[in-house]
Structure formats: structure tokens, C-alpha cells
Amino acid sequence: MAENTVRQKPIEKEETPPEIKSGKGFFSFVDKYVPVGDVFNDGLPVQYIPKVLFFACIMMLYIANAHYGDKLVRKTNKLKNEVNDLRADYITLKADLMIKSKQSEVAKQVEVLGLKESTEPPIKLTEQNREH
């Protein structure tokens, strides 16, 4: 029987992890005073998961509340503009109606129909001793 042979790949030299530059940047400053990488050396700290989830829920509620507030402000401004427009329309129509309801304007409009303004003063009716 023939022997099984496996092709041998040339051995590459071992890769060394990239060196961490100790720069003067923000993250190197934070890592120097708050070593976050050391927290996960022993595994995932499960005791903090409820606190993190609670904080995440509170943050989502805070963001939702901010969006709701912005939406409410936009709606309020829109309604204020609409009220101002309607108030301006009301004042304009009221002024037109006051002008059109004057006696001289009504007389001009009914002349076309053949009606004339009365020139005689109205008669006052009085009741004389009336017995019940």
C-alpha cells in the first residue's frame, strides 16, 4: 500500500502582536487611568448585567421623552400659527360685515330689488285704557 503523504507548508515565522503605541491621545489617557481591559480578564462580569440593562432602558426612555417633547413643541407652534391665521380671518370678516350691515350699504343693495327706504318716521302705538 502506498503511504499517505501530506504536503508540508513552509513554516512561517510567528506573528507578533502589534505593539501598542503609547501616544498622547485621548484614549491612551483614558486607558491609563481607567483600565477597562482588565475587567474582562476573568470573564464577563455577570453581576453588572441587570444594572447595565436598567441603565439602557432608562436611556431609551429619556431619548423617547426628548423626541416626544420636540414633537409636542412643533405641534404647538403649528397650532399657534393656525390660530393666528384664523384670528386674522375672523377680524377681516367681522370688519367687512360691519361695513356691509350699515343702513346706507343695505339701502344701496336693496335698491336693485326695487325696495326704497322709508322717509316717514315710524308711528308710535300707545295703548289707551284697555280693560281686561
Q: How is the chain split into domains, by residue range?
A: 26-111
Side chain identity at residue 60, one-letter code: M
Side chain identity at residue 110, one-letter code: V
pTM (two decimals): 0.49
59-70: b (≥16 Cβ within 10 Å) or e: eeeeeeeeeeee
pLDDT digits (tens, 9 = 90+) for 85-120: 999 999 999 999 999 999 889 988 899 998 888 889
Q: Whole-number mean pLDDT of the chain?
A: 85
